[in-house]
Structure 1
Amino acid sequence: MEQPRESNSTPLTTLGFLERAALAYGDCPSIVYNDSTYTWSQTNRRSLQLASSLSSVGIARGRVVSVVAPNIPATYELHFAVPMCGAILNTINIRLDARTVSTILRHSESKLVFVDHYYVPLVLEAIALLSSNGTEIPLLVLINDDEPSPSSTVDDNSNFIDTYENMVNKGDPGFKWIRPESEWDPMVLNYTSGTTSSPKGVVHCHRGIFITTVSSLVDWSVPHHPVFLWTLPMFHANGWCYTWGMAAVGGTNVCLRKFDGTIIYNLIKRHHVTHICGAPVVLNMVVSSTSLTNQPLEKPVQFLASGAPVPAPLLLRAESLGFRVTHCYGLTETAGYIVSCASKPQWDSLHAPDRARLKARQGVRTIGVMDMDVVDPERETNAEKDGSSLGEIVVKGGQLMLGYLKDPTATASCMRRDGWFYTGDAGVVHPDGYLEIKDRSKDVIISGGENISSAEVESVLYSNPAVKEAAVVARPDEFWGETPCAFVCLKDEYGEKPTEKEMIEYCRAKLPHYMAPKTVLFKEELPRTSTGKIKKFVLREIAKALS
């Protein structure tokens, strides 16, 4: 048999999508932001210039470059420019607090951070924490667009070496971007959120990102020249790889710094948006918009939802207004989504509640996943496909991460010798083969698309001198999907008892605000099993009844 040759073994990478887009769709719009529009030729040139400037300041192959910015053109361009100079892209959640940002910068050994002007105070506070620990301080580059800046400025801060636009303008448009030596070379570093107080760094290679991107385009049936509205944060698994995917199909990226239901509706109408991704809270936000209530969509808009399942009433309401909703499931460790609800044409003839029930399931594996199952971890056998036998979801395929940065123990615990990746999520398989997630074994609360670790919130509650015991579970919320609900037992000897508001404020002072409990219930004691474990399933039922 013939063997692989150099000519047919070029490393897979999504970076070539941009070069192709400049040739095939050069004059077509690539990015729209406020009143500015870029073409694919311009985006390619700007990304090459930025990659050139990064190389000139010493950012070499394998170095980590971080980004703290919302969904603006610079964030999109950096998804190409950073790996084009051989570096590893690390997009940081802008909703995190300074302590967590500092932890990420230290653990990743980031050499340079692109900072949106609005988040300068956050990054400078994180840098100050790095300095106090004696950690090497990364260089900073200011992203300053046409939005009004907050009162805090960079002024004479020596850590800032330049501005974003200066680096673009100074770069060489003829820069030969650095191709990976191997498709297994690291390309991005994303940190988990909500699973632990010390977020894990998930490393993805060029090959995995390529497979995820192509798989996502095929699974969602994305056509040429879609108009993609960026309500999904690009820092969430790199926008499920649609950052690179839009270049592959010559799409238009409609960027926005912040949004609400009315803004989303107006952008859909103004730019003829065809595709949107996001958590159910985003869908609820736009569906609840008075603009949409008075004037439904002129043309159908595809909406890909992930996180908590889309409630049936919201799904039906969204479809009645012109949205075509697809539910999916993925993890940071899979670079994007790996399961989606492949709707069947015959479902359209079903009664609305039955149709919503079927479409609320997560569905079947995407083409980037070679195998998937639900296993009983105690019996080490496959769970019955009866829609009720619970087990842990396991997968195999090219979308999986290389591993956790500097954490071989955690990597080995989920990527085991039997060849499966153990997600830690529990689900059932229905007789028709469709997967439905039932629980998250790590007790993660998904609020507005953000993962919240119940253990981390509990540790903050326990730091309060008045607290004897605490447990945090998810409370269903019509807007956010879920919010943290805390059950607290106070110490008998403690004099002045704190109020619910005071406990919430206590947590907000020590956590990112979205992680703080929205509800605090005081109890004499918490329900326990015979072995002393807190019965969180009982607490979840109480929290559910509140809603």
Structure 2
Amino acid sequence: MKITTNMHEGRRTEMYACGAWNDMIITDYLEMAVTKTPQKTALVGYRVHAGDRSAMSYSELDRRITRMAAGLAALGVEKGDVVSCQLPNWWQMSALFLACVRIGAVCNPLMPIFREHEMQYMLAHAQSKVVVVPKIFRHFDHQAMLQGLRSELPDLKHVLVIDSDDEQSFEQVLLQRAWEEEVDTARLFAERRPSADEVVQLLYTSGTTGKPKGVMHTSNTLLSNIRPFSERQGLSATDIILMPSPLAHQLGFLYGLMLPVYLGATAILQDVWEPAFAARVVAEEGCTLTLGSTPFLADLVDIARDEREQQASLKTFISAGAPIPGALVEKAASVMQGTKVISAWGMTENGAVTTTRPEDPQTTAVHSDGVALPYMQVKIVDGEGHEQPAGEEGDLLVRGASQCVGYFRQPDMYQLDNEGWFATGDIARKDATGYIRITGRSKDVVIRGGENLPIADIENTLYKHPAIQAVALVGAPDERLGERLCAYVTLHDSSATLTLKDVTDYLVEQKFTRQYLPEYLEVLAALPRTPSGKIQKFKLRDMARDIFQGQASHA
């Protein structure tokens, strides 16, 4: 399948000239690790609820990838075809991406929390030819969900199910047959090798302004982020990287899947977040680095209060997704004395754009989201597009090497100005040294636990509820999760009643994942509006903040 991107020749020429891009792809780094350290542990996977640990060396990982890649090609996956996967942090997720790269296919990770509503849209839009899912994960039957969707997905040829015992079994189809003996894999991989400018990743945004958009990344856009990121943080092949954040999220994908392979380091994958379990893993595996949103850090800090030595190996915690509360950084500094907290900001469209530096004072992570990585630029502008002076708030724009190459099948949605600047939708200020601070958002978004919630999609669905006349969803600040989702509604019948359970039950009936459900509901006689009729969400945010702060003060 031919994939059209928004790449222009001028950008390609500029990025190669400055050294940001080259002809390397991630499997080149895999092959270097296999040659240099074939018996080194590449990957350790923990299935928390199953209670098992699996590990494999770089040579073993390479053998599995080779078999899977040959198998996918035999199933009819062509260069440029989309292979989707809705997987937890299991080794199969990492191997599947690398196998896709080997044959020039595009990997499309999907969050395990997605249900029919999200999956039907994304798989259809991506025109996925193959999807890989677990049989059961966290008590949910993914195989049954996909079976129910098959009739609506004409492009989908194969559903492969991990831990299934029928003809859809991932193990039987891709692993138990020696596909590599049925084809000349060296020739196949040479013919299918993607250029560094071809799309290898398709990752959907959370749809904060409507339907999700499929962000397209190439080897160059992804690796041009990983290289300077690892250099700034002083990472090497000796690092042991714990990744509890989902690999289907850009943070987990870049730094839990790709970064260890790039470094020739060891990745530790944890499929379900349980703080005490994670702390034990850090101690037993000697983890040196982990990344996640503020709830992960808050939980590890709580554990470390009683078990300080348990996390002695952890040199760095990189926090992204929402500003880090100052009190949390202070707690981390006192109980995790050997761990440096790094603040970072980025998006699906570009990975981490800014980070604080390891040599910065610890308090920098409280007051700043960092300075731009090499090959990336940030700019703060006013409403007229004029650059703001240091200290003044404005719209945050970004451009550079790791910026994506467009939205899949939605080229008109991807807007850059004439100089290549991308409007992030965030409000920020920049100090005289180039460090930025995110101060707000110009787009309608709520971030809970580091995850953007698809506000427009949830609101549009609630408008279909027979009792609801109007609805607005906003976030209320929360120290652990960043924000909580609050729903304000008016009813067709002012004498009627509507409960939070009524609303959440309705969304579950509409096949929304439970992570997208509101946590607070208030029925109003009227929503605050402008003279033109636009809902004034800032007033609702103030109301929600006051309510949750009041609850906290009485806790």
Whether the TM-score (by the shorter chain) exceeds 0.5 is yes
1:42-441 equivalent positions in 2, closer than 5 A? 42-118=60-136, 121-131=141-151, 133=152, 135-144=154-163, 155=166, 163=172, 166=175, 169-172=178-181, 175-176=185-186, 177-178=189-190, 180-237=193-250, 239-242=252-255, 243-289=257-303, 292-296=305-309, 297-322=311-336, 323-334=339-350, 336-342=351-357, 344-345=359-360, 347=361, 355=363, 359-369=366-376, 371-376=377-382, 378-386=383-391, 389-411=392-414, 414-441=415-442
Larger deviation, residues 236-245 vs 360-369: 236-245
**Contact 1:307 1:329 (8 Å CA) reproduced:** yes
Q: Which residue of 2 aligns with 1:19?
A: 31
Larger deviation, residues 270-279 vs 315-324: 315-324
Please tell me the residue identity of whatever aligns with 2:407: Y
Please tell me the residue identity of whatever aligns with 1:27: Q
Q: CA RMSD in A?
A: 2.5
The separation in 2 between residues aligned to 1:137 and 1:162, in whole angstroms, is 19
Query: Which secondary structure state, in structure 2, belongs to the residue aligned with residue 442 of structure 1?
Result: coil
How many residue pairs were aligned? 513
Q: Tell me the TM-score normalized by structure 2.
A: 0.86
Larger deviation, residues 12-21 vs 165-174: 165-174
Q: CA deviation at 1:230?
A: 1.5
The separation in 2 between residues aligned to 1:80 and 1:422, in whole angstroms, is 31
Query: Which secondary structure state, in structure 2, belongs to the residue aligned with residue 78 of structure 1?
Result: helix
Q: Which residue of 1 aligns with 2:40?
A: 28
**Contact 1:341 1:359 (8 Å CA) reproduced:** no
Q: Which residue of 2 aligns with 1:543?
A: 544
Please tell me the residue identity of whatever aligns with 2:456: A
**Contact 1:90 1:189 (8 Å CA) reproduced:** yes
**Contact 2:244 2:271 (8 Å CA) reproduced:** no
Q: CA deviation at 1:140?
A: 1.6
* 1:115-140: CA deviation from partner (whole Å, max 9, x where unpaired): 22225833542453341x46233302
The separation in 2 between residues aligned to 1:141 and 1:326, in whole angstroms, is 38
The separation in 1 between residues aligned to 2:253 and 2:73, in whole angstroms, is 27
Query: Which secondary structure state, in structure 2, belongs to the residue aligned with residue 486 of structure 1?
Result: strand
Please tell me the residue identity of whatever aligns with 1:399: S
Query: Which secondary structure state, in structure 1, belongs to the residue aligned with residue 268 of structure 2?
Result: strand
The separation in 2 between residues aligned to 1:56 and 1:235, in whole angstroms, is 25
Please tell me the residue identity of whatever aligns with 1:122: H
Query: Which secondary structure state, in structure 1, belongs to the residue aligned with residue 397 of structure 2?
Result: strand
Q: CA deviation at 1:299?
A: 3.4
Q: CA deviation at 1:80?
A: 0.8
The separation in 2 between residues aligned to 1:477 and 1:441, in whole angstroms, is 20
Q: Call closer, same or farther: CA 1:432–1:134 in 2, change over 3 Å.
A: closer
**Contact 1:468 1:489 (8 Å CA) reproduced:** yes
Q: CA deviation at 1:454?
A: 2.2
* 1:230-275: CA deviation from partner (whole Å, max 9, x where unpaired): 2121101272522122122221111222131101111011111111
The separation in 2 between residues aligned to 1:408 and 1:165, in whole angstroms, is 34
The separation in 2 between residues aligned to 1:394 and 1:163, in whole angstroms, is 48
The separation in 1 between residues aligned to 2:238 and 2:32, in whole angstroms, is 14
**Contact 2:71 2:174 (8 Å CA) reproduced:** no
Q: Which residue of 1 aligns with 2:473?
A: 472
Q: CA deviation at 1:300?
A: 3.9
**Contact 1:53 1:167 (8 Å CA) reproduced:** no
Q: Call closer, same or farther: CA 1:260–1:134 in 2, change over 3 Å.
A: closer
* 1:377-401: CA deviation from partner (whole Å, max 9, x where unpaired): x322012212xx3222112211011
**Contact 1:228 1:276 (8 Å CA) reproduced:** yes
The separation in 2 between residues aligned to 1:304 and 1:10, in whole angstroms, is 27
**Contact 2:209 2:444 (8 Å CA) reproduced:** no
The separation in 1 between residues aligned to 2:488 and 2:161, in whole angstroms, is 43
The separation in 2 between residues aligned to 1:304 and 1:459, in whole angstroms, is 35
Q: CA deviation at 1:504?
A: 3.0
The separation in 2 between residues aligned to 1:118 and 1:509, in whole angstroms, is 20
Please tell me the residue identity of whatever aligns with 1:381: H
Q: Give structure 1 regions of 4+ aligned residues with deviation exceeding 6 angstroms.
A: none
**Contact 1:99 1:129 (8 Å CA) reproduced:** no
The separation in 1 between residues aligned to 2:286 and 2:174, in whole angstroms, is 29
* 1:406-428: CA deviation from partner (whole Å, max 9, x where unpaired): 112101xx223332122122211
The separation in 1 between residues aligned to 2:425 and 2:346, in whole angstroms, is 12
Q: Call closer, same or farther: CA 1:197–1:529 in 2, change over 3 Å.
A: closer
The separation in 1 between residues aligned to 2:170 and 2:281, in whole angstroms, is 35
Q: Call closer, same or farther: CA 1:487–1:103 in 2, change over 3 Å.
A: same
The separation in 2 between residues aligned to 1:164 and 1:359, in whole angstroms, is 49
Q: Call closer, same or farther: CA 1:495–1:294 in 2, change over 3 Å.
A: same
Gaps of 5+ in 2: 1-12, 46-51, 550-555
**Contact 1:62 1:86 (8 Å CA) reproduced:** yes
Please tell me the residue identity of whatever aligns with 2:331: R
Please tell me the residue identity of whatever aligns with 2:374: I
**Contact 2:104 2:194 (8 Å CA) reproduced:** no
Query: Which secondary structure state, in structure 1, belongs to the residue aligned with residue 433 of structure 2?
Result: coil
**Contact 1:240 1:337 (8 Å CA) reproduced:** no
Please tell me the residue identity of whatever aligns with 2:541: R
Q: Which residue of 2 aligns with 1:351?
A: none
The separation in 2 between residues aligned to 1:473 and 1:10, in whole angstroms, is 43
Q: Tell me the TM-score normalized by structure 1.
A: 0.88
Query: Which secondary structure state, in structure 1, belongs to the residue aligned with residue 267 of structure 2?
Result: strand
Please tell me the residue identity of whatever aligns with 1:394: L
Kindly, what percent of the aligned residue pairs are identical?
A: 26
